[in-house]
Structure 1
């Protein structure tokens, strides 16, 4: 008896479907649906609401947190130049985290039901529906949970007065990343720099998904040899 491959119904909530794709998930999720109308994730309205985030929520929530962290270091005795240096260091650390997280966990190949499901929730959904506005930036509640181990690492590896400002810089870097990422998909670049950034990122989506993992910077792509070819993704370069 021949078993037919599982077929995802795009008109139904997707999250609990994609796990059934098994080994076929990786290819399916990288065949983009270029539509500004995003899919539904869950049948439950409350769960669905929690997955949807507008871009401006990110700076609204996280810029005050980052500023407060820097102020903690200042109150603990760090001078303004020292705090500024720590913030710059945190932003630099973010660029590496951005690259490593995007390249490895977010692009790992999964075949199990729950592996596919979790991957789809965190990043697969973005590759399948790259123009979905409401599932592009990370919901703040998810980001807050993911921050916990990183904050503990910063506290462990840096002096008490430096850790808050250093982590605050990392949070500033994260805000810049999420806002920049949204702009590269939905903004209208008006200068050469932003135009090149958009082409670079769309290359990753539509031509070479195994390269071009940097979004706010191509620094680590250059360091680790994952810079894609210079030809832009013609399919969306004018959007």
Structure 2
């Protein structure tokens, strides 16, 4: 006898359900539900609270740290011009990290119970519920965890006085990324480049999820050959 396919109950907390989809998960998670109210993730209220983040929490929490990093590099002997160059390089570095994370981690193929569960928490929920405004930006705790490997990576090729400046530039790139991502879903840009980026990102959600991994720019999609066609989006939100 063939076992019947598992069906997710959208009226119940989703996180510990999606793993049961096994091989069906990839198809299910890329069939978006366009609704401004997001689903419940956990039965536990504390865990549920930790999954929801207002967009303005990103600049509120991280911009003071950016300023501290940049001022630290200045105090350690770097000029304003030096730090400006660090900011530019840090933002450039972030655009590559943004692309690599989105393409190779956020879109990793999973089929095991815990693989599906982890993927749904990391990025799958965003594709299933793309208009969930409280789960569009990284929760601060998750972003803080990612800061440690980013800092250590920068230390590998920089000096003690330039590490804070480069890190601050990369962190500023992250803030720009998360705020841009929120705006592309909930803003209504009337002119380019924001208008083009919105269409570009909606292509990724609603037409071809295997291309268009850039959020703040299309640079690395050009470089690595993942640029989608210019065909207009069939669905809009």
TM-score of Structure 1 vs Structure 2, range by shorter chain: over 0.9
Partners of 1:107 and 1:142 in 2: CA distance: 18
Instruction: Give the Å deviation of 1:190.
Output: 1.9
Contact 1:58-1:140 at 8 Å conserved across structures: yes
Contact 2:19-2:117 at 8 Å conserved across structures: yes
TM superposition score normalised by structure 2: 0.98
Instruction: Give the Å deviation of 1:176.
Output: 0.4
Residue matched to 2:179: 179
Partners of 1:30 and 1:125 in 2: CA distance: 9
After TM superposition, list the pairs within 5 Å mapping 1:77-226 onto structure 2: 77-226=77-226
- Name the count of aligned residue pairs: 237
Instruction: Give the Å deviation of 1:149.
Output: 1.1
Contact 2:207-2:234 at 8 Å conserved across structures: no
**Moved segments of 4+, more than 3 Å:** none
Where do 5+ consecutive residues of structure 2 fail to align?
Answer: none
Q: Tell me the C-alpha RMSD between the 2 structures.
A: 0.8
Contact 2:87-2:166 at 8 Å conserved across structures: yes
Residue matched to 1:47: 47
Where do 5+ consecutive residues of structure 1 fail to align?
Answer: none
Contact 1:22-1:111 at 8 Å conserved across structures: yes
Instruction: Give the Å deviation of 1:203.
Output: 0.2
Give the secondary-structure state (helix, strand or coil) at the position aligned to 1:125: helix
Give the secondary-structure state (helix, strand or coil) at the position aligned to 2:66: helix
Give CA deviations for 1:1-40 in whole Å, capped at 9, x if unaligned. Answer: 2200111011110000001111111110000001111100
TM superposition score normalised by structure 1: 0.98
Instruction: Give the Å deviation of 1:102.
Output: 0.3
Partners of 2:160 and 2:84 in 1: CA distance: 16
Partners of 1:192 and 1:65 in 2: CA distance: 31
